[in-house]
Structure formats: structure tokens, C-alpha cells
Amino acid sequence: MSPVRIISTLGFFFVLFVIQESAVSLIHFPISGFSLYLAIAISLIAFEDHNGSLVTGFLAGIVLDLSPTSNAPFGQWALILTGIAFLFAVNRDSIADLTSSPITFVIFVGAGVTLSLIAYLLFGSLLGEENGSLKHDSTILLGNLIWTVLFTPIFLPALSRVREYSLTARERV
């Protein structure tokens, strides 16, 4: 990943973060909320190659750690999304291509979002954070999974085009 792309990715994630915190979080979704940020971050991680996934995951996590409403220590999301990115990187062949099997891709994105939230909960518990009852947490996880699977196909084509546009000629090859 070139330095220019790192900066542009960081900027993109920050804009996305502002949209999530100021607009998406205002919507009262049935069951539970939807994290547009996580859905797009996991999609981008799935698009990238091995090293690109790791860097994208780390950058997405660092921006998410800036959330002023978060109780978690700074760096927790960076650690978790880097770990999720590693899982995506080593299982790249299973995830397949967006154009060849979009449904599988969407399912993987949904699973990635849910897995990252579970990892966030578990890691938070290790650090002594209180995350509520099992029923409450399960509702949030289920709600996020449902909304991610429903909304990801809507933004995925546009996201794919934006990413292609941001690639350098060398990276396109």
C-alpha cells in the first residue's frame, strides 16, 4: 500500500466515521443499530490483498478508536480489526470475488462484522469493561448482522467503483 493510498484511506475512514456518528447513529433501527462504518471497513478489508487488508484493518480501527463515546481504551478497535483483517487475508480464496459470487461476499462481510463485535466484547471483558447482559449483547449482534446483510449489497457496487478509482496503475495490475 502506497503512502498516498494510506493517507487517502485514512481520510475516507474519517469521513465515514463522521457520517456514522452524526447521521446513521440517529436512526432508530428495529432490533438494534447498524454500523455502516464496520460494514464498509470489513468490505474494504475483503477487497484488499494480504498486506493491504492488514493496513486497512489497522487504519479503520484507529479511526474508530477516536470515537468520543467509546468506553474502550484507545487501540482496542485497531487490535481487533487488524486481527479480523488477518483472518480475511489468510482465507482470501474462500471469500471469493465480489463479481463472481456476491452473495458469498456479503455473507462474509456480515460474518466479519459480527465476529469483530464479538471480539470487541470478549477483549473488553478481559480488560474489565461491563458490556451488559447476554440478551442485550445478543440483540445488538443479531441486529447488526441483519442490517449488514441487508444494506451491504446496496453500497457494495459503489464502494467497489470508488476503490478501483483510488488504485494506482501499478496496484490495478
Partner 1 sequence: MARGGGNRSRLLLVILLVTALFFITLDLRGVSLTKGSRSVTQTILSPVQKTVSTIFSPVGRFFSDVKNFGKTNAQLQEELALNKMLKSELAMSADTKGQLAQLKSVLDLAGRGNYKVAAARVIARGSASSFSQTITIDAGSSSGIRPDMTVISENGLIGVVKSTTNSSSIVLLMSDPSFRVGVRIARSQSVGVLSGLGGSNYSLVLLDPAGTIKTGDILVTNGSENNRPFVPGVPVGVVVGVDNSNGSLTQTGTVYSYANLNDLGVVSVILSAPTTAPSQPILPTPNPVVTVYVTPTPTPVAAATTGPTPTPSAQPTKKK
Decide whether 67 or 102 has the Cβ nearer to partner 1: 67
Judged by phi (left if over 0) then psi (alpha if -120 to 50, else beta), residue 129 lies in: beta
Residues constituting the chain: 173
Q: How far apart are CA 134 and CA 89, in angstroms?
A: 30
Q: Which stretch binds partner 1 (CB under 8 A): 5-13, 102-110, 124-132, 155-163?
A: 124-132
Q: Which three cell numbers stand for residue 91?
A: 482465507
User: ∠ CA(111), CA(136), CA(154), 5° rounding?
Assistant: 40
- Distance of closest approach, residue 172 Cβ to partner 1, in angstroms: 18
Q: Which stretch binds partner 1 (CB under 8 A): 58-66, 94-102, 103-111, 161-169?
A: 58-66
Q: Which three cell numbers stand for residue 83?
A: 486481527
Please give the residue ranges that form the binding site for partner 1 (CB under 8 A): 18, 20-30, 32-35, 37-38, 50-51, 54-55, 57-58, 61, 64-79, 82-83, 86, 89-90, 92-93, 120-121, 124, 127, 129-133, 135-137, 140, 144
